Structure 1
Amino acid sequence: MRVLTEEALRVEFKKDIPEKYIVNEDLIVTPAARQYLKEKNVEFIVKRENTEKEDECKEDEFEFKEIRIPEGKITPKYISYYSGGAFEQKPEYMTHLFGNKLVYKDDPRIIFRGKLDSLQSEILELQHLSYVKDVEKLSMELQEVLEYVREILRCEVLSEEYSREKLFGLTEGELRDMSHFPKKYFGVGHILPHYKMDEIMLKLNSLRSSSREVELAAVKAFKKENGIERVDIIKALNRLSSGIYILMCKYKAGEYR
């Protein structure tokens, strides 16, 4: 059974991107391949075996849904995202990218998801510390940070656009301005971390640096030969580190007392 993957299309389109791409209906086309065709504005056409006519796919067929298998065909239990090869059992060294598509556990996308998972753990630990130390307002704002990160992960896994525009009610421009000019907004200068800071401030700083690591992991995961995919996620992560730095400035300014 033949499977058309995003990687195969990238190789095929390396020299020239066609206006139309025609496949037989017995070819399995992965969701990533469909999305890639859509991004390149390539008209995707399925040639039906029982007619002479070429039927154009509907727009919603590009969505990340279960792959449509022609009648009488057997759906492989697992499929390699890289080669399209089928597996009866999931190898221990592979994991799900989406659906039944498997990648190596050190695939950049999986590493990125792991970084997001670790970031959530750090947020929860700091939330608990803030709660124990009776800094409830910070705990609540960290909850918003947690939901922000969880939404990034959900959108990445489901291949949805990240559309959340604000954090703490602040726009991208406001987050950037406040993080660049803390003296203007909070009456404190830029923070240079040191060992005499209290535990909450040190953990906020760790959270900020971890968010930067997640952003770098995202760039590595979505960097392709012809540019960067998922700019929406990378942009959201850039806003996140600014937001966490603002929490540091607010804490230093005594706004949580």
Structure 2
Amino acid sequence: MKVLTEEILRNHYKKIKSKKYVISKEILITPSAQQYLKDNEIELIVDEKSQNGKNPQENLEAIDKKVERKYKYQCNYTGGYFEEKPEYMTHLYGDKLVYKDHPRIILRGKLDSLQSKILEIQILVNKNKLVKLQKDLDELLQFIRNILRAEVLGEELAEIKLFGLGEEEIREISHHPEKHFKFKHVLPHYEMGDIVIGLNTLRSNARETEICGIQAFKKEESIERQDILIALNRLSSGIYLLMCRYLGGFYR
């Protein structure tokens, strides 16, 4: 179904001065377009045919194409167009712009922050010459980048695999560390050292990112992108597994 936006109306009335605007009944009108008509005292006429005998939807589509060619960006909320990208907006996908506090943009920011934190920890790991842990952190970094790519491009995530383990194996070990290490669940303490505390911060940040993911993909009674949400859940479990491995002497 075609949508009549304020930007289309503005573009139309730069060339045609009239106090009447005819559309077909199939066309939806955005609230901002309705307000534009009201503010300019333009009468909206809903009919099957326009006054010049042409289908009004065909006229609208022609106008819309001209607008698309002229403007580089489109507002994801109203369908309106921008010649320049506003500083307070960013790309959701393609040329579609949203406010920077859009839930999916917040999720992307959280994923970016996780990458930054991994790089900080890798500096410590490199100084301590923990080669195996460095390799696992590289894999974790790529895992997060894959999540981000899948979200931005709308791609399906591949099968979840971390440190040679499948998602169910990661879940099992993180839920029952006593079966795989010589201790029960880890209660972080500063005496455990900067690497463990850094990993714990990364783990808690991953949990926050998962919540952002739910906020981004929760649609009334349904949830979109469950592949990403499962990956985010296993991400925090995977980081916890790294903590257990470190404390259990796996990387020495």
TM-score, reference length from structure 2: 0.73
Partner of 1:35: none
Matched, 1:106 2:101: yes
Give the corresponding residue for 1:73: 65
Given that 1:188 and 1:252 are in contact with CA atoms closer than 8 Å, whether structure 2 keeps it comes out as no
- The answer to whether structure 1 residue 169 and structure 2 residue 150 are counterparts is no
Which residue of 206, 210, 230 corresponds with 1:211?
A: 206
* Aligned residue pair count: 195
Runs of 4+ in 1 over 2 A off after TM superposition: 72-76
Give the one of 171, 177, 180 matched to 1:185.
180
Name the structure 2 match of 1:199: 194
Deviation at 1:116, TM superposition (A): 0.3
Supply the RMSD in Å over aligned alpha carbons: 2.2
Q: Pick the aligned partner of 2:232 from 237, 244, 248.
A: 237
Matches within 5 A, 1:13-92: 73-74=65-66, 75=68, 76-92=71-87
Shift of 1:3: 5.1
Q: CA-to-partner distance for each residue in 1:30-58, whole Å, 9 max, x for gaps? A: xxxxxxxxxxxxxxxxxxxxxxxxxxxxx
> Following TM superposition, by how much is the alpha carbon of 1:181 offset from its aligned partner in structure 2, in angstroms?
1.2
The worse-fitting range, judged by mean Cα deviation, of 218-227 and 108-117 is: 218-227
SS at match of 1:196: helix
Mark the structure with the bigger radius of gyration: 2
> Do the aligned residues in 2 keep the contact of 1:179 with 1:243 (CA within 8 Å)?
yes
Query: CA offsets per residue over residues 31-88 of structure 1, 9 Å max, x none?
Result: xxxxxxxxxxxxxxxxxxxxxxxxxxxxxxxxxxxxxx98x93323110111111111
**What is the distance in 2 between the residues matched to 1:153 and 1:77?**
24
Give the TM-score of the pair, scaled to structure 1.
0.71
Residues of 1 paired with 2:146 and 2:168: CA distance? 21
Matched residues, percent identical?
A: 58
Partners of 1:132 and 1:165 in 2: CA distance: 30
Matched, 1:128 2:120: no
- The code of the aligned residue for 2:118 comes to I
**What SS does the aligned partner of 1:97 have?**
strand
| Alpha-carbon distance between aligned partners in 2 of 1:203 and 1:114, rounded to the nearest angstrom | 19
How many Å separate the matches in 2 of 1:226 and 1:176?
A: 26
Q: Which residue of 1 aligns with 2:34?
A: none
The structure carrying a bigger helix percent of its residues is: 2
Structure 2: tracts of 5 or more residues without a match: 5-25, 28-60
